[in-house]
Structure formats: structure tokens, C-alpha cells
Amino acid sequence: MAQAGKRYVSPTGAEMIVTKAGDGTLSDGEVALVIKGSGDDFSGTNSGGEELTLGRRYQSEDGDVVVLVTKAGQCDLRYNGNPMEVQQPKKLPSSD
């Protein structure tokens, strides 16, 4: 379960905080992410994926889960096995 307010770490060192929680699992490819400082070990290693950019938000396909990258690194970020996509900034109304 992706818990809001918790920091998650990938095997490659990328870190993110969950800003909108859901019942599914966050993973780096097939390897489940762990909560930072929990003492849990990774169930494997993953060396692929794209470079996550510091400060960028990613959301699940259905929009149920959103994470904010707090430490850049390579990660094949997935939620319930489906790739997460970069969240597009919201358009603000014109001030004219």
C-alpha cells in the first residue's frame, strides 16, 4: 500500500514521497520500493529505467497515486505493475 507522507526508496537510490495515497504497490520494475528507514531489504535489484528528476511529480494511470521525487536517480517507477507518468502542470487562468 502506498502510504501518504511516507518516503520510499528504490534499489538505485532514487527517493520519493507519496503525496496522494492508494491501495496498490510502488515498484522499480519488478522490485517493490521500501519505506526509507524501515530497515526492510529489497527483494532484488533493478538497473533499468529512466532518470527521475528532482521535484518532478509522477502519477498512476488512473490518477489515484501521486509521488514527488525528492532525490533524483534511475528508476522504472511503476504502480501495481503499470508505468507511472509525469504529471503535467495545471494551467492557471489568465490574469488579463
In sequence order, the 6+-apart residues with CB closer than 8 A to the CB of 79 are 2, 22, 24, 25, 26, 27, 60, 61, 64, 65
Minimal CA–CA distance to 74: which of 41, 93, 51?
A: 51
Q: Tell me the pLDDT tens digit for each residue of 15-70.
A: 999 999 999 999 998 888 999 888 777 766 665 688 999 999 999 999 899 999 99
Maximum Cα–Cα distance for the chain, whole Å?
A: 54
pTM, two decimals, is 0.84
